[in-house]
């Protein structure tokens, strides 16, 4: 029972990290600018102003946005399916469907972070990756661990 509670807690933590990485505005940062997947915040006259991401290649930006949102959706679905499978699976069966959904979430966030790494800010000399970028890669690791756990986990009789 303690293992299942730990898995659910880890899964909820992963979902929160995915949502923060997708929504928050800190993928790329400089002293006067902060960028997320949806826009850019620039410091002008001691106030932050929102602008569009006009300098980003649109097809890559849309791919990063879509796969980030899909990662969140699949992670949430995997949690609901896992909880449902706790009550519907017979003893000794694996949580395969939960694992597959979690693996899809893992691949989606990996694709988003990889495209962002390869296509954006490659020629910039000033600034660096923000905490949302790090959270995206951390979410990739956690979703992969959860996917493997779900694929290996068997429902044991108590």
What DSSP letter does each residue of the chain carry, written as one string?
Answer: -HHHHHHHHHHHHHHHHHHHHHHSS-SEE-SSEEE-SS-EEEEETTEEEEE--TTS-HHHHHHHHHHHHHHHHHHHHHHHHHHHHHHHSPTT-B-HHHHHHHHHHHHHHHHHHHHHHHHSSSS--S-EE-HHHHHHHHHHHHHHHHHHHHHH-B----
pLDDT-derived band at 156, boundaries 50, 70, 90: low
Please check whether residue 39 lies inside any domain of the structure: no
Residue 118, domain member (yes or no): yes
Q: What percent of the chain has pLDDT over 90?
A: 62
The pTM (predicted TM-score) of the whole model is 0.89
Which CATH number does the domain housing residue 22 bear? 1.20.140.150
Separation CA 107–CA 114 (nearest Å): 10
**100-110, pLDDT tens digit by residue?**
999 999 999 99
> 44 in a domain, yes or no?
no
Which residues have C-beta within 8 Å of that of residue 16, sequence separation ≥ 6? none
Range of the domain at 84: 2-27+58-152
Residue range 55-80, pLDDT digits in tens = 889 999 999 999 999 999 999 999 99
How many domains, in total, are found in the chain?
1
Residue 33 located in a structural domain = no
pLDDT in tens, 16-66: 999 999 999 899 999 889 998 999 999 888 888 988 888 889 999 999 999
Place of tokens 């569009």: 52
Mean pLDDT of 117-142: 92
First to last CA, the chain: 9
Is there a domain that residue 141 lies in? yes
**Residue 74 falls inside a structural domain:** yes
Flag whether 34 is in a domain.
no
Indicate whether 78 belongs to any domain: yes
């Amino acid at each position: 029972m303690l293992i299942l509670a730990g898995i659910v807690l880890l899964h909820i933590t992963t979902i929160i990290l995915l949502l923060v990485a997708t929504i928050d505005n800190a993928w790329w940062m400089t002293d006067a600018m902060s960028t997320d997947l949806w826009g850019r915040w620039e410091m002008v006259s001691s106030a932050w102003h929102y602008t569009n991401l006009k300098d980003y290649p649109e097809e890559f930006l849309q791919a990063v946005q879509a796969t980030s949102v899909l990662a969140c959706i699949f992670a949430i679905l995997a949690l609901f399916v896992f909880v449902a499978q706790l009550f519907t699976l017979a003893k000794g069966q694996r949580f395969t469907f939960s694992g597959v959904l979690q693996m899809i979430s893992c691949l989606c966030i990996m694709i988003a972070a990889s495209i962002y790494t390869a296509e954006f800010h490659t020629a910039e000399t000033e600034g660096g990756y923000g905490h949302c970028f790090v959270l995206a890669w951390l979410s990739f690791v956690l979703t992969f661990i959860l996917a493997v756990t779900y694929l290996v986990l068997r429902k044991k009789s108590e």
